[in-house]
Amino acid sequence: MIGTWPGRRWAVAIGAAILTVLVVGVPTVLIPNPWFGRTVPPTWWALPALLVTAALSGLVTATYVGSPATTAAPSPTRSELVGGFLTYLAVGCPVCNKVALLALGSAGAVQWFAPVQPVLALAGIVLLGYALRRRLAGERSCPLPSVPATPETARR
C-alpha cells in the first residue's frame, strides 16, 4: 500500500521525519547545538531509536494526507502521540528529565530511570508501528468510491 503513495504523501512523510528528528534531537542534544546541554552522554542506541521513530512518525503523518482512494481519521490516535513522547523520554538525558530528577534525585535518575530508557524507546517504536499498521489497514478496508459530485449526491 505504501508503494503506491503519490509524491505528495512521500514529501509529507520525509518532512515529518525531518521535523521529528529536529524536535526530539535538538532538546535532547542528539543533534549538538548551542541552546541545550546534556550532563550524561547519549547512549549508543539513542540515535538509532530516534531515526526509527522519525521514519515511523513520518509514515504515520503521511497517512493523514488525503488521496482519492482513502479516508483519514480526523486526529492522531493515542498510540501515535504516546509513542512519540516515549521516545522523547527515552533518548533524553536521564538527569535532565525534570520529572525523573524531582522524583528520584540525581543519583536515582541515573540508577533507576536510565536503565528503563531502552524499554521506553522500544515501547514508543512498537506503539508507532501499531499506529501505522492500523492506519494502513483502515486505508485498505475503507476506500472511498470515486463518484462525481452531482446535485443528488450533494444532498446526502
Q: Encode pLDDT of 15-66 as tens digits.
A: 999 999 999 999 999 999 999 988 889 999 999 999 999 999 999 999 988 7
- Alpha-carbon distance of 49 to 131, in angstroms, equals 17
- Alpha-carbon distance of 31 to 27, in angstroms, equals 8
- Over residues 78-120, the pLDDT tens digits come to 788 888 889 888 998 888 777 777 888 888 888 888 899 999 9
Question: 70 versus 127: which is more confidently predicted?
Answer: 127
Q: Is the pLDDT of residue 149 over 90?
A: no
Sign of CA dihedral 116, 119, 121, 123: negative
Q: Is the pLDDT of residue 146 over 60?
A: no
The DSSP symbol for 47 reads H
User: Which pLDDT does position 150 carry in this prediction?
Assistant: 65
Annotated domain spans of the chain: 2-142
Torsion of CA 33, 36, 37, 42, to 10 degrees: -70
DSSP SS3 for 6 = coil
> How many CB atoms are located within 10 Å of the residue 24 CB?
25
CB 116 within 8 A of CB 132: no
